[in-house]
Every structure is written in C-alpha cells, then in structure tokens.
Structure 1
Amino acid sequence: MSAETLDTPAATFVPTPTPTPTSVPLPADATEAVFWDGVLLVAATPGFHELKRTWDQDPILT
C-alpha cells in the first residue's frame, strides 16, 4: 500500500485499530475515513518517518 505524500510515493503500514474507532460523532461509514485521513495527514508531514506501537490486545475481526 502506498500514500502520495507531497508528490512523493511513500510506503505505509496499514493502520489496524481494534476495535474500529467510534469516538468521532459521524455516521459509521465515515468514521474510518476520518481516521485514514488523519494517517495521511501525518504521513504528509515533512520529516515524518514512522508511527508504530505494540499491540495491547488481540485484533477484533468481527
């Protein structure tokens, strides 16, 4: 997967929130889009390299 950041392709890890974020007061189908837009905004920041953290729970895949 790649994201266009400042006209330069950048490889990314796919964010995997678990459970799916629901704290944004938007329709369910828009919440994930807001989350992804935030990831792209961070990735477009000059000098940004990586955002990662250790799992603190197993993924919820339902």
Structure 2
Amino acid sequence: MKNVTKNPDFSYINKDGKRVAGAAAFNHHVFTEMGGIQQYNDAVGIMYIEAFVQDNLPCLPIRGPP
C-alpha cells in the first residue's frame, strides 16, 4: 500500500512535459497511482490510525489479562 502524506501535493509532469495540478492531478493519483477510491481511502484511514496511536500511546490504559 502506498503512503499518503499529511500535506499532499499531487502535481506531476505529464508525458508532454506539462505540469498537472489540482483536481486532475488528484484524480491521477487516486485512480492511477493508488488503484482506486477504496485503496486511497484505506491508505488515508491507516495514516490517521497510525497518527492517533503515536499521539496517544502514552495515554492509553494498559490492561492485563482479564
């Protein structure tokens, strides 16, 4: 699964040497690089879960066996 950055810049240079940005670049990223909406959403979700755990791990209660 590809990484999704917190401050994304999806711009790229196309085959004609022109810079593509904005919605066209985002669609290219989602459908060409990530493989579709579900894969993009999964990557974003994993990124948020990882950030939450890193930010809150010291605060989470540690439970032993029941």
Structure with higher RCO (Cα < 8 A, 6+ apart)? 1
More strand by share: 1
More helix by share: 2
- Give the TM-score category using the shorter length: 0.3 to 0.5
